[in-house]
Chains A and B, each alone.
Chain A
């Protein structure tokens, strides 16, 4: 699953640690999400979407079905 987390974070000029603090997760989790090593749970995906005021579809893209 691809995501635009790094871009959205850069728009707000946040560091990974800043975003981690806002989401109450570790910086390692943010890094793993950004480089695509880890797919978030639905709860975390919703939390991220709420934080950036976007829909989940705007942030996360299914690589097998990009238009989904």
Chain B
């Protein structure tokens, strides 16, 4: 079945994009562990530590670009499902951040790093896609 740029499979933009996505995600993981291996010890704001933190962003951004291209390659219903899921993810994450922030101010629960925000973002996105697929099944 042909889609906008000659790919197969409507759900995530085809195997070619998926392969490229996993290639760049693999590069991201290698860059993370490679950086951790090369610059050990406590965190310091020196050039080596900054590079170890920033270099993995390159393959990550390329993987995110593949995600963007995959969504654009989908047909209009799939795109709607995924953009609705992104909206759920965004709004849900805002609610979680505000809720946890107030809990930190009022109840004194421990602070947590923004690094962990990817978990609710991804979970809510997956939930949104699941609900959308069920809605239009």
A residues lining the B interface (CB < 8 Å): 20-21, 24-26, 28-29, 31-32, 37-38, 40-41, 44
A37 pairs with B10, CB closer than 8 A: no
Query: Which residue of chain A lies nearest to B136 when distances are taken between CB atoms in the complex?
Result: A32
The B109-135 residues at the A interface (CB cut-off 8 A) are 133, 135
Within the complex, which residue of B4, B80, B135 is in contact with A24, where a contact is CB–CB below 8 Å?
A: B4
B76 pairs with A40, CB closer than 8 A: yes
Residues of the A chain whose Cβ atoms lie less than 8 Å from the Cβ of B136? 28, 31-32, 37-38
Query: In the complex, which range does the number of interface residues on chain B fall in?
Result: 10 to 19
B residues lining the A interface (CB < 8 Å): 1-4, 10-11, 75-78, 80, 133, 135-137
Residues of the A chain whose Cβ atoms lie less than 8 Å from the Cβ of B77? 25-26, 28-29, 32, 38
A24 pairs with B75, CB closer than 8 A: yes
**Nearest Cβ on chain A to B64's Cβ, whole angstroms:** 23
Query: Which residue of chain A lies nearest to B10 when distances are taken between CB atoms in the complex?
Result: A26
**Nearest Cβ on chain A to B72's Cβ, whole angstroms:** 14
Contact (A26, B135) CB under 8 Å given A20-B1, A21-B1:
no
